[in-house]
Amino acid sequence: MSDTKPPAIDPLLAARTAEALALPHLVCRRRDCRRKNRCLWCFRSTGERCCMRNLTAEQRRIFDVVYHEAAAAWHFLGTDPHWFEAREGERRTHNDLGIAIARTDPGRWRREKWDAERRAREKRLARFDREQASGKHGSKRGRG
């Protein structure tokens, strides 16, 4: 075993991630969490949400992927938006979910720039989707 501790979890971002994945409703054993569909309880020592202990290994892996995507969006969308330029596939889905979760956190750094980058990304993706639907999308690799 390694002596290093796992990286600290931001309790508020973890709560928003758990809520996006419906963990309070589906796996939490706390009545207030289930009734309010909100993640209300965490372990003070680690910041880990209480419902996380009830997850299977696969569910925990999915939570970790979504949480890390949300943390990356929270930290970097306002400063390095090029990390979120995926246009299709699973990568775009992960980016979209991470940005949606990070958007709910009122403590985002440089909020105005972050929101401006999010809106610019949405416009780029809407334009790309329209081009795909109309068949006019010209890829940089060329045709044929």
Domain extent at residue 97: 11-134
pLDDT at residue 49, as a whole number: 80
The answer to whether the CB of 21 falls within 8 A of the CB of 45 is no
Report if residue 141 sits inside a domain.
no
Q: Count of domains in the chain?
A: 1
On whether residue 55 sits in a domain, the answer given is yes
Confidence label for 4 from pLDDT (cuts 50, 70 and 90): low
pLDDT band at 144 (very low <50, low <70, confident <90, very high): very low
Is residue 5 in some structural domain?
no
What DSSP line would sit under the chain, residue for residue?
--SPPPPPP-HHHHHHHHHHTTHHHHT---HHHHHHTS---B-TTT--BGGGGG--HHHHHHHHHHHHHHHHHHHHTTT-GGGG---SHHHHHHHHHHHHHHHT-TT-TTHHHHHHHHHHHHHHHHHHHHHHHHT----TT---
Q: Taking Cα atoms as reference points, which of 15, 42, 20, 47 lies closest to residue 30? A: 42
pTM higher than 0.75 for the full model? no
Question: pLDDT digit string (tens) for 39-90?
Answer: 887 777 777 788 888 888 998 898 889 998 888 888 777 677 767 777 777 7
4 domain residue, yes or no:
no
Determine the pLDDT at residue 142. 44
Q: Is residue 62 part of a domain?
A: yes
- Assigned domain for 143 exists: no
- Domain assignment present for residue 67? The answer is yes
Q: Predicted confidence band at 34 (pLDDT cuts at 50, 70, 90)?
A: confident
Asked whether residue 46 is assigned to any structural domain, the reply reads yes
For the segment 112-125, what is each residue's pLDDT rounded down to a tens digit?
A: 787 888 888 888 88
| CA–CA gap between residue 16 and residue 28 (Å, rounded) | 14
Q: CA–CA separation, 8 vs 67, rounded Å?
A: 12
